[in-house]
Amino acid sequence: FSESSSQSSETSALTEMLDDNFGLGSPMAVSPLLDQKDPPLYESRTQKKHIIESPDKFDKRQKSTTKKGEPSTIKKLIKELKDDSVNKDLIFASQLSEDSYTYLYKEIGKAKVDNDIASQKVLNCYFEFGKKLFDHLNYYKNEKKYRDRKAQSKVDKEVKKQLPKEINDTTHWKQTEKAQKIYELFIEIGVDKMQQVKSYSALRISKLSWKSIDYITENFKS
């Protein structure tokens, strides 16, 4: 294969992975991020006060529930995250070789989620992606003294410059939201807990509702 065709195939595979049924082919006139009336997308929700409720609606397909409407899926995930009997062979490096948005997107796209190591690697990439978003937002807000909306606009443009042109605004926005969820979950309960995830893919965890994320983090508070 030629170098150009190889790169084209890689981009195609990446695009397919990142699409996740969010409509890569449909053009967007306005970025969903910049069009939001309630702008704080990257701002840490742990800084805000909010009511913690049992995540009874996080998965409509999950019929088996425990007391107070808590889905058994959430209960099993919490149990797994609290399991200290970690297989040391699954421990991965906490520092990635690069931290650019392009690299992190490619790592998410290349990794297969059909085994523990790959699943944890995807979680780690999403976490680092979310951390990068959060750190850059804080830089513009605290160092540059930008207001929230302007700071978010700057971060949004930074990300888009580094991504393949085939990735549209809808996919971009959905992926940054997934990264934020995974970042906030593990920054609250401990980054080391990623080593204990065996039964749940990064995609499945990233699709948890914010209510479910809050519920899980509350279970780790003394």
Given a contact cutoff of 8 angstroms between Cβ atoms, the answer to whether 132 and 105 are in contact is no
- Has residue 26 been placed in a domain? no
- Has residue 74 been placed in a domain? yes
The count of domains in the chain is 1
With bands split at pLDDT 50, 70 and 90, how would you rate the model's confidence at 111? low
- Has residue 29 been placed in a domain? no
State the pLDDT at residue 154. Answer: 93
Residue 123 tokens read as 């979680």
- Has residue 155 been placed in a domain? yes
With bands split at pLDDT 50, 70 and 90, how would you rate the model's confidence at 102? confident
- Has residue 32 been placed in a domain? no
Average pLDDT over residues 24-35: 33
- Has residue 15 been placed in a domain? yes
What's the distance, CA 147 to chain centroid? 24
State the pLDDT at residue 3. Answer: 45
Distance, first Cα to last Cα, the chain: 57
CA distance 127 to 194: 10
User: Which one has a higher pLDDT value, 70 or 30?
Assistant: 70
Residue 162, CA distances (Å) to 96, 100, 105, 130, 206 in order: 17, 8, 10, 15, 22
Residue 205 tokens read as 């965890």
For 60, the domain range is: 3-21+54-218
- Has residue 178 been placed in a domain? yes
**178-195 pLDDT, tens digit each:** 999 999 999 999 999 998
Residue 168 tokens read as 């549209």
- Has residue 41 been placed in a domain? no
pTM for this prediction: 0.65
